[in-house]
Amino acid sequence: MSEMKRLREIMDRLRGPDGCPWDREQTLATLRTYLVEEAYEVLEAIDGGSPEALREELGDLLFQIVFQARIAQERGDFDIESLMKGIGDKIVRRHPHVFGAGRLDTSDQVLRQWEEIKVEERRGRADGSLFAGVPKSLPALLKALRLSAKASRVGFEWQDPEALWSKVEEEMGELREAVRAGSRDGISEEMGDLLFTLANVARMEDLDPEQVLQEANRKFVERFRFVEERLAAEGLRPAAGNRDRMEALWLEAKSSIRRTSPDRTSPSGGISGSGPPGARPRPSV
């Protein structure tokens, strides 16, 4: 018996009349949170560098897929077999340079072809937009990366990197003006424009802005924990009255904590699937 077949039989048993009450009560809606949590746990395992942890977390994520496919089967929508056939057919269709007679030599060529094929697939659909496949619930920075990457693959792109840097400076100036004017709506709009533009800078450098910000968050927490520990050793605590001491300890933290960078040989974090820095983001399916 294949392990995939065994897993399906386990799921059938759990959802059966004599199965688990909790598993039988679940719906596609109630499993949403678990699916997201399992995906993030996979990312943590990738960042942790443990093959065993990654194997376990990928298994948990696979179980969520099997679980949801089983519920869909009960509803008469589809089953796991049609799910696997569908994704298999899609991947073959979108790789004619591998499974057909064509040939492509660079990642850029692959990405352009991928988007062209997706445009043809969307033709005639109710929503045939280039952005129709971008999930509304994606984290904002990752969504900015996806939107700008899709636009760039059909030629809507800054041709000169200097023009992009000019745009960053322009957006910073507009944000400063909005702050001076005290317009909350204006500040919100200009802040969004600046963040979107910075996401494009990250894309131009083959970086995932979501991961970049996560790394900045990690670094901030690590340094501030250093400050907290040193304050505690001196009988102090983080407070406005100890600001000068906190500033001094912060500078000490910056110099004493070894600056680390992401492992450039492993896939980058986030749910973008963008690959390691220096690699072109893989097209979304």
Q: What is the pLDDT of residues 139-177, one digit of tens each?
A: 899 899 999 988 888 888 988 889 999 999 999 999 999
Burial class (CB in 10 A: 0-12, 13-18, 19+), 90: middle
pLDDT at residue 114 greater than cutoff 90: no
How far is it, in rounded angstroms, from Cα 247 to Cα 228? Answer: 12
pLDDT over threshold 90, residue 233 = yes
pLDDT at res. 278: 37
Task: Look at residue 269 in the predicted model and tell me its pLDDT.
Answer: 35
122 belongs to a structural domain: no
Model pLDDT, residue 259: 54
Residue 255 identity: S
Query: Per-residue confidence at 117, pLDDT binned at 50, 70, 90?
Result: confident
For residue 106, the tally of other CB atoms under 10 A from its CB is 9
Q: Which residues contact 260 (CB under 8 A, 6 or more apart)?
A: none
Distance CA 32, CA 67 (A): 11
Residue whose entry in the numeric block shows the structure tokens 């904590």? 257
pLDDT confidence of 133, banded at 50, 70, 90?
A: confident
Does residue 232 fall inside a structural domain?
no
Q: Among the listed ranges 31-40, 137-146, 154-163, 262-271, which one has the minimum average pLDDT value?
A: 262-271
Average pLDDT over residues 200-204: 93
With pLDDT > 70 as the criterion, what percentage of the chain qualifies? 89
- Answer whether residue 18 is part of any domain: yes
pLDDT-derived band of residue 285, with 50, 70 and 90 as boundaries? low
> Where do the H-state alpha helices sit in the chain?
3-15, 21-25, 32-48, 51-74, 80-93, 96-99, 107-122, 140-153, 161-181, 184-204, 209-233, 243-256
* pLDDT given for residue 268 in this prediction: 35
Q: How many domains does the chain have?
A: 1
Q: Which domain holds residue 30?
A: 3-93
Residue 268 lies in a domain: no
The two tokens of residue 250 are 């912060």
The answer to the question of residue 109 being in a domain is no
- Mapped onto helix, strand or coil, the DSSP state of residue 27 is coil
Q: Is residue 59, in this structure, part of any structural domain at all? A: yes
Q: Which pLDDT belongs to residue 262?
A: 44
Residues 52-73, mean pLDDT to the nearest whole number: 96
pTM of the model: 0.60
Confidence label for 121 from pLDDT (cuts 50, 70 and 90): confident
41: domain CATH number?
A: 1.10.287.1080
pLDDT higher than threshold 70 for residue 57: yes
Q: 27 near 74, Cβ under 8 Å? A: no
- With respect to residue 161, please indicate whether it lies within any of the assigned structural domains: no
User: Is 207 contained in some domain?
Assistant: no
Summary mean pLDDT of the chain? 86
Contact between 238 and 250 under an 8 Å Cβ cutoff? The reply is no
Q: Does 123 score more than 50 pLDDT?
A: yes
Across the range 256-263, mean pLDDT stands at 57
Give the residue-averaged pLDDT of 226-255: 94
